A and B are shown apart, each in its own frame.
Chain A
Amino acid sequence: MNLHAHRAIDPATLGALVLQADHWRRSPASVGGPAGHKEWSHFCIFGRDLDLLINFSLMDAFGAIETPRLTVLMREPGGDWTGDVDAYASSALEIDEGGVDLRLGPNRLRFRDGAYELDLALRRQALRARLRLELASRPALTTSVPLADGPGMRWFVVPRLEASGTVVWRGGRRELVRAPAYHDHDWGSFRWGGDFSWEWGIGLADEAVPWTLVFQRISDRGRLRTLSQGVLLWRGDRHLRTLHGSELSVHSEGRTSTRGALRVPRIMSLVSPGRAADLPARIRVEARRGADALDIEFELGDLAQVAIPNDVGRGATIVSEVRSEVRVEGQVRGEPVCFEGPGLVEMNRAAA
């Protein structure tokens, strides 16, 4: 599928928008301000032969400022996951001040000629990737997303890109050609293990009309109180509608087993071996505003987990990345919306 046909804005303008908003904010503690900063640049790619999640992060934690990490998860079509979290010393980090570009040891993120370029090599897994992700939609910058006990997170998103390049896994080479992809950049100050949890899902139609959908819900840690929730819908490169708050009704059903799921960094299986998790098998969202209506269903499948030591208490926060299929039906701004496609649901659950 060629998404260029759906572009109503030229690549140079899109690129300028990215350069304005997708820069590294950095920790205030690095210039004498308060610690607690968290920031990451996140990419999801849905290929024919593999899916990839790539995350560059800088986090203040446990007295260290801006510990840089690269997380890569790769999923094969049968549902097997591999990947790792590679932490680096601060001395291995180079950031283009006020820019998108970052170098972390041998790994590199750059923005050039309207595209993100990623060069990656995990230390202890035989996984390397060289990718170019071209913009296929307008970026968006959200207002602050409140977390229960912090000032909240800001969120920059490019909901649709096209990823091409090469992935080498255990010596086998795989090519990606214009695979649908997603990118966001998040930053703010909060403490892992605090009184919050989130559910976040994306769905990318691989059809004639390249619909892209993002769903997010922030709750308290016990998920008894919803702090914010929303659905954003793009048609091609254009944001079409956001529905939020009481316009959404969210239902979870069933249970997804975490048995045998990859957990990274791998040492966290030893530190935090518990597997109990109330992950649903299905999330249904009904979104309504006037004549606009969307019925969304995420069917959750296999998963991998990223475990993060809590800043609060001794436990860990387990972030489950669940490969999903998304189905959407409805009508927005008078236009019928009906698509299915690959998706991903991310759920964070803190354990004491």
Chain B
Amino acid sequence: MRQPDFPAFLDRSLTILRVEAPDHHAELASTLGRRGLRCEVDGPTVALRFEGSRHALREPDHREEMFLRTDWTTILDLVDGELSLLEALLEERLWLTGSADAVTRFDEALVCYLGGAIRCPSLPALLAELRVSRLAAAPKPAAEAPQ
């Protein structure tokens, strides 16, 4: 099953954030800066950094200060309120690695990202698109055997 492309989703959502919630985007840039967050969602990995006020998604060089690993099911369960962040961590559906300072910084960045995302008029459409692509990627039920 081919999952939606996380780097593309992250890039589009951050671009929307920069246009529709610029204060949140600027705060995110200040919080994360060039420290680097390596993300692995259902396989592919990508590193997020801010270069000045612009975000950049690159191949990881494994010098990132934070590493996040999870999957789309967990992300959507979090978005749908089926799961809290703490539950996701305790149930080992979401891993976060880094120093205590880096983890605290990640939490601040996540709160900032989400706070901006819910204020962006275009984000619900992006999320809806994501759900549709997830449905399209889901395995089809097996065809009935001929009688």
Which of B20, B21, B118, B120 interacts with A271 by CB under 8 Å? B118
Q: How far is the CB of B52 from chain A (nearest CB, A)?
A: 23
- Which of A5-13, A45-53, A217-225, A262-270 is the interface stretch? A262-270
**A89 / chain B contacts, CB cutoff of 8 Å:** 121, 125
Contact between B79 and A268 (Cβ–Cβ < 8 Å)? no
- Indicate with 1 or 0, residue by residue over A42-63, a CB within 8 angstroms of chain B CB atoms: 0000000000000000000111
Contact between A270 and B79 (Cβ–Cβ < 8 Å)? yes
Contact between A64 and B79 (Cβ–Cβ < 8 Å)? no
What is the bound-complex CA distance between A67 and B78, given in angstroms? 24
What is the bound-complex CA distance between A345 and B47, given in angstroms? 48
Contact between B81 and A263 (Cβ–Cβ < 8 Å)? yes
Residue of B nearest to A90 (CB): B121
- Count A-side interface residues using an 8 Å CB cutoff: 18
- Indicate with 1 or 0, residue by residue over B6-38, a CB within 8 angstroms of chain A CB atoms: 000000000000001100100000000000000
What is the bound-complex CA distance between A61 and B20, given in angstroms? 11
Which of A63, A124, A269 interacts with B84 by CB under 8 Å? A269
- Indicate with 1 or 0, residue by residue over A277-314, a CB within 8 angstroms of chain B CB atoms: 00000000000000000000000000000000100001
What is the bound-complex CA distance between A64 and B124, given in angstroms? 14
Q: Is the interface of A mostly helix, strand, loop or mixed?
A: mixed
What is the bound-complex CA distance between A271 and B79, given in angstroms? 9
Quick check: is B137 within 8 A (CB to CB) of the other chain?
A: no
- Count B-side interface residues using an 8 Å CB cutoff: 20
Contact between B115 and A270 (Cβ–Cβ < 8 Å)? no
Contact between B124 and A273 (Cβ–Cβ < 8 Å)? no
What is the bound-complex CA distance between A171 and B7, given in angstroms? 38
Of residues 295 through 343 on chain A, the ones whose CB sits less than 8 Å from some CB of chain B are 309, 314
Contact between B119 and A270 (Cβ–Cβ < 8 Å)? no
Quick check: is B91 within 8 A (CB to CB) of the other chain?
A: no
Contact between B115 and A62 (Cβ–Cβ < 8 Å)? no
What is the bound-complex CA distance between A63 and B120, given in angstroms? 9
Of the listed residues A62, A89, A268, the one surrounded by the most CB atoms of chain B closer than 10 A to its CB is A62
Contact between B79 and A309 (Cβ–Cβ < 8 Å)? no
Of the listed residues A67, A271, A273, the one surrounded by the most CB atoms of chain B closer than 10 A to its CB is A271
**B118 / chain A contacts, CB cutoff of 8 Å:** 267-268, 271, 309
Q: A89-B125, A263-B81, A273-B84 are in contact. Are A63 and B115 (CB under 8 A)?
A: no
Contact between B115 and A267 (Cβ–Cβ < 8 Å)? no
Residue of B nearest to A273 (CB): B84
Residue of B nearest to A64 (CB): B121
Contact between A270 and B120 (Cβ–Cβ < 8 Å)? no
Residue of B nearest to A124 (CB): B80
What is the bound-complex CA distance between A62 and B119, given in angstroms? 6
What is the bound-complex CA distance between A67 and B123, given in angstroms? 13
**B120 / chain A contacts, CB cutoff of 8 Å:** 62
Q: A62-B21, A63-B20, A309-B115 are in contact. Are A270 and B84 (CB under 8 A)?
A: yes
- Indicate with 1 or 0, residue by residue over A246-271, a CB within 8 angstroms of chain B CB atoms: 00000000000000000100111111
Contact between A271 and B80 (Cβ–Cβ < 8 Å)? no
What is the bound-complex CA distance between A273 and B85, given in angstroms? 9
What is the bound-complex CA distance between A263 and B81, given in angstroms? 8
What is the bound-complex CA distance between A268 and B82, given in angstroms? 11
Quick check: is A95 within 8 A (CB to CB) of the other chain?
A: no
Contact between A266 and B79 (Cβ–Cβ < 8 Å)? yes
Contact between A267 and B79 (Cβ–Cβ < 8 Å)? yes
Quick check: is A87 within 8 A (CB to CB) of the other chain?
A: yes
Quick check: is B114 within 8 A (CB to CB) of the other chain?
A: yes
Q: A89-B125, A263-B81, A266-B79 are in contact. Are A271 and B115 (CB under 8 A)?
A: yes
Of residues 58 through 84 on chain A, the ones whose CB sits less than 8 Å from some CB of chain B are 61-64, 67
What 15 additional pairs, Cβ within 8 angstroms, besides A266-B82, A270-B81, A270-B84?
A62-B20, A62-B21, A62-B121, A89-B121, A267-B79, A268-B118, A269-B81, A270-B79, A271-B114, A271-B115, A271-B118, A273-B84, A309-B119, A314-B112, A314-B115
Q: Point out residues on A near B: beta carbons under 8 Å.
A: 61-64, 67, 87, 89, 124, 263, 266-271, 273, 309, 314
Instruction: Provide a sorted-by-A list of 17 A–B residue pairs whose CB atoms are within 8 angstroms.
Output: A62-B20, A62-B21, A62-B119, A62-B120, A63-B20, A64-B121, A89-B125, A124-B80, A267-B79, A267-B81, A267-B114, A269-B81, A270-B84, A270-B114, A273-B84, A273-B85, A314-B24
